[in-house]
A and B are shown apart, each in its own frame.
Chain A
Amino acid sequence: MSSDVSTKERVGQAPTSSANGTFLDEMRVRLRKGEFGQLPVLLTLVLVMLFFNIASKGVFLHPRNLSNLVLQQAVVGTLALGSVLVLLIGEIDLSIAAVSYLCGAVMVKLSVDHHVSAFVAILAALVVGLVIGLVNGFFVSYLRVPSFIVTLAGLLAYSGLVLHVLLPNTTIRLEDNALKAIAAQYVIFPWDVLIPLPLVAIYFLFLMRQRLARAKQGLRLSPWWDFGLRIGAVVVSVALALFVFEQYQGVPITAIVLLGLILVFWLLMRFTTFGRHVYAVGGNAEAARRAGINVVGIRIAIFGLASTLAATAGILEASRIISGSAQIDPTFLLNAIAMAVIGGVSLFGGRGSVWAVVIGVLIIGSLSNGLVLLGKGTDIEQMVEGAVLLIAVTVDALARRRNATGLR
């Protein structure tokens, strides 16, 4: 049997056979296999935006409206980032909205009633979030109580705790100027250009370096059009976003916080062992355990991170509405989970990327903003969002079934 192997194609051998495939060939293969990636979602987003722009006679795509849309949705986006992490390990966190309001209330209460500095108030809010997350994680991973129940209990308990913290009021008005500034300020030219520019350059250099290293090792290289497409997509989306923001008041700080967090978590999830192990736990926890991964530790860490992100969202929200409030926005939790799922994160664990948040924010944001522009009420908005969420989850379930029956 060792004589005939040389004639057959071997794994990873030179880029001869694979890289010859042209762009169109590749697309045809992907289409046939059903690997559309994010393409259908992006297409949906473009259609939704065009529809609202036409229906609202050009108001929707006006830079002021788009800037407001991002400002409104960035808070929920931060919450959605937390739910992406939890969904990746195949769990769910229903307590994030309550936790974010609680942490916002803690910050406002400390700042207003106890006159602590903005920095200390923010730090306290983050620590409260982290501790709550670690407690959730302890119950879920160490005691193996289903996360649905643990965090449902958390949702109830922390909703009560917010009321308790703010007693005797139900809202406390924020006085600290630094804290108020978080959601009210914009980063303007030239700083908004100078921040992303080096990042894009670093990304380009990283891809080039990786390509050279692979060539040196004789590994298969992705075709040039794929390389160009990646760089191009990054440059175009950054330029487009800056162009839109620059037409109005600049980039909202809230948006920078959200994008910065997405970037940090993308690096963590994609380029480190921690991220790799999170995906492994979500894909097959037993295999991860046998590979020597500390599954319990990973789960606790993820719940801790998710609640800390919820605390961050609470800080942004308190700054945006200039108060600590006990009236938890009922759409917060469900929109956060919806954003993650619409962005392609699987409810079954192990599949999806933190960039899902960007897509989720834009789609959910467009729907709610656009329907308001058309004079439709919350009634219509919620029904439409429900339908979109159902479609997204159905696509996820179908993709999973195809994977399971696939080419086995």
Chain B
Amino acid sequence: MAEDASLPPAQPGPTTRETPGASVATAEPVLRLHNISKAFGAVQALRDVDFEVYANEVVGLVGDNGAGKSTLIKTIAGVNIPDTGEIFVDGHRVSISTPQDATKLGIETVYQDLALCDNLDVVANLFLGREDGFKLTPFVRTLDETEMERRTVDVLKQLDVKIPSVRSVVATLSGGQRQSIAVAKTILRNAKVILLDEPTAALGVAQTRQVLNLIRRLREQGLAVVVISHNLADVFEVTDRVIVMRLGRRVSTFDVRATTAEQVVGAITGAEFGEEPAESAQAASGQE
């Protein structure tokens, strides 16, 4: 357990920022989905969806309501089990049938409700359910507060998160700080892939900036980050690639540096298709 927080130190330069596409083209994706389909009764929520995210990369997953974003995320997180299709982590085929499976594989999801206990302090929240300590009986362990606080300070420093004190009760923190705490929790669990569900929804301007900086920070740490968002401005600011879903299909993939917001909106609404028609989605994404 002790090695959980010992991620490589933050890289000083923004080297990965410059060349996300070049470095990822040849590498194996950290997480790859192939031909995923899922139906809820008569509703086909996902049709033959491929998905991939690389280390040192932030992928934006966008689409209208009911496009299948949430179903896709829940499939990765182990909440839904796909009807057909394959999932690969680091090139190895895996099966994810429970959220615990996903966690074991290093896939962590931060949902919009953040799942924080408002009445507990930051340290208690970060280590909830996996506290450091000495075993007294099968159900009762002591709490090693000093060690947990040290590791909390370390991980918050690593992510450059600023809060008044690690002993602040979470209820007193701002929305951006709470989001940061929820993300830091996944880092302590050795996440390789982090899925963020609407991380900037309901946040003010300054708070949003905090969270976007945090996402960049995660990329610098070598993580693969997936951001689901309705806010295209945020998506364009922080992601490397944008994957657009519509009616259960992956319809387009854009490199944000060579794309305008209009093109993405067009793909979302179906008014104008991107480079890849819906039918050949998998072929096109393979070329990338």
Hey, which chain A residues are within 8 Å of B255, CB to CB?
none
State the CA gap A263–B160 with chains docked (Å): 40
Contact A284 B115 (CB under 8 A): yes
Contact B172 A273 (CB under 8 A): no
Contact A1 B216 (CB under 8 A): yes
Residue ID in chain B nearest A282 by CB atoms: B119
Q: Chain A CB within 10 Å — which of B12, B100, B153, B161 has the most?
A: B153
Is B162 an interface residue, CB under 8 A from the partner? yes
> For window 153-205 of chain A, which residues contact chain B by CB distance below 8 Å?
none
Is A213 an interface residue, CB under 8 A from the partner? yes
State the CA gap A283–B119 with chains docked (Å): 6
Report the minimum CB–CB distance from B217 to chain A (whole Å). 8
Contact B12 A2 (CB under 8 A): yes
Contact B142 A406 (CB under 8 A): no
Interface size of A as a range: 35 or more
A219-B173 CB under 8 A given contacts A287-B128, A350-B119 = no
Residue ID in chain B nearest A298 by CB atoms: B139
Contact B117 A10 (CB under 8 A): no
Q: Which of B35-43, B163-171, B245-253, B263-271 contacts A (4 or more CB under 8 A)?
A: B163-171
Contact B136 A272 (CB under 8 A): yes
Report the minimum CB–CB distance from A276 to chain B (whole Å). 6
Report the minimum CB–CB distance from B140 to chain A (whole Å). 5
Q: Mark A44-68, 1 if CB is under 8 A from B, else 0.
A: 0000000000000000000000000
Report the minimum CB–CB distance from A405 to chain B (whole Å). 10
Contact B174 A407 (CB under 8 A): yes
Hey, which chain A residues are within 8 Å of B13, CB to CB?
2
Contact A276 B119 (CB under 8 A): no
Is A351 an interface residue, CB under 8 A from the partner? yes
Other-chain residue from A9, A213, A287, A297 in contact with B115 (beta carbon distance below 8 A)? A287
Contact B118 A284 (CB under 8 A): yes
Contact A288 B129 (CB under 8 A): yes
State the CA gap A165–B190 with chains docked (Å): 58
Contact B128 A291 (CB under 8 A): yes
Contact B153 A12 (CB under 8 A): yes
Tally of chain B residues near chain A (CB < 8 A):
49
Is B150 an interface residue, CB under 8 A from the partner? yes
Residue ID in chain B nearest A403 by CB atoms: B171
A214-B146 CB under 8 A given contacts A2-B12, A10-B162 = yes
Is B256 an interface residue, CB under 8 A from the partner? no
State the CA gap A277–B131 with chains docked (Å): 10
Is A225 an interface residue, CB under 8 A from the partner? no
Report the minimum CB–CB distance from B127 to chain A (whole Å). 9
Contact A273 B141 (CB under 8 A): yes
> For window 230-274 of chain A, which residues contact chain B by CB distance below 8 Å?
268, 271-274
State the CA gap A290–B103 with chains docked (Å): 11
Contact B119 A351 (CB under 8 A): yes
Contact A2 B156 (CB under 8 A): no
Contact A406 B150 (CB under 8 A): no
Hey, which chain A residues are within 8 Å of B139, CB to CB?
274, 297
Q: Chain B CB within 10 Å — which of A272, A273, A277, A297 has the most?
A: A273
Report the minimum CB–CB distance from B194 to chain A (whole Å). 15
Is B14 an interface residue, CB under 8 A from the partner? yes
Contact B171 A406 (CB under 8 A): yes
A274-B156 CB under 8 A given contacts A291-B129, A293-B128 = no
Is A18 an interface residue, CB under 8 A from the partner? yes
Hey, which chain A residues are within 8 Å of B128, CB to CB?
276-277, 280, 287-288, 291, 293
Contact B175 A408 (CB under 8 A): yes
Contact B129 A274 (CB under 8 A): no
State the CA gap A127–B100 with chains docked (Å): 37
Contact B119 A279 (CB under 8 A): yes
Hey, which chain A residues are within 8 Å of B115, CB to CB?
284, 286-287, 290-291
Hey, which chain B residues are within 8 Å of A292, CB to CB?
100, 129-130
> For window 1-38 of chain B, which residues contact chain A by CB distance below 8 Å?
10, 12-14
Is A217 an interface residue, CB under 8 A from the partner? yes
State the CA gap A218–B113 with chains docked (Å): 33
Residue ID in chain B nearest A220 by CB atoms: B165
State the CA gap A91–B120 with chains docked (Å): 18
Is B124 an interface residue, CB under 8 A from the partner? yes
Is B85 an interface residue, CB under 8 A from the partner? no
Hey, which chain B residues are within 8 Å of A291, CB to CB?
115, 128-130
Contact A273 B118 (CB under 8 A): no
Q: Mark A381-408, 1 if CB is under 8 A from B, else 0.
A: 0000000000000000000000110111
Hey, which chain A residues are within 8 Å of B152, CB to CB?
12
Residue ID in chain A nearest B202 by CB atoms: A408
State the CA gap A398–B117 with chains docked (Å): 19
Hey, which chain A residues are within 8 Å of B117, CB to CB?
279-280, 283-284, 287-288, 350
> For window 107-150 of chain B, which residues contact chain A by CB distance below 8 Å?
113-120, 124, 128-131, 133, 136, 139-143, 145-147, 149-150
The 9 closest A-B pairs by CB, nearest first: A291-B129, A12-B153, A283-B119, A350-B119, A283-B117, A287-B115, A292-B129, A291-B128, A273-B141
Interface, chain A (partner B; CB < 8 A): 1-2, 5, 8-12, 18, 210, 213-214, 217-220, 268, 271-274, 276-277, 279-280, 282-284, 286-288, 290-293, 297, 349-351, 403-404, 406-408
